Amino acid sequence: MSAVSINNIIKNTIKHWNYISEDIHEPRNHAEYQKLSNILDQLLDIVGENESHKLMGLVDVVSHMIDRYDERKNYFGKEISGVTALKFLMKQHNLNQSDLPEIGSQGVVSEVLKGKRKLNINQIKKLSKRFHISPGTFI
């Protein structure tokens, strides 16, 4: 890639960044965290199940920002995976595998809980709505 095209990419990025920089940044407080979580929820609604959607990069960035805030506030801690968080929520809500139709059949839930299968975007979106928590928790 030539220096001219890189320069154009940077100029375009700066131009567009001016529109979103007030909303898309690592949250510094709970209000900003909630705002960013709402943005992520809306992005996941747009992306749906299409993991190759052009906005998936933005979903990843926003999820990462939410995760960093969670780590700093120790909501689940740094070493907790999405599956561990799901197991914790299942225990807290007294749920078993058949109580999670958001994920799929009991067999699919079992594979997710054993780490043999990863949660997809649609499953994450549904679980975050059910438990009223950030989708970043499961990513």
What was the pLDDT predicted at 138? 84
Average pLDDT over all residues of the chain? 86
Task: Please identify which residue in the block is written with the tokens 């801690």.
Answer: 77
- Percentage above 70 pLDDT, the chain: 94
Query: In angstroms, rounded to a whole number, what is the distance separating the alpha carbons of residues 73 and 79?
Result: 13
Is the pTM above the cut of 0.85? Answer: no
Burial 87-121 (b: 16+ CB within 10 A, else e): eebbeeeeeeeeebebbbeeebbeebbeeebebeb
pLDDT in tens, 84-112: 889 989 998 899 999 999 898 888 999 99
pLDDT in tens, 22-48: 889 888 888 898 999 999 989 989 988
What was the pLDDT predicted at 67? 81
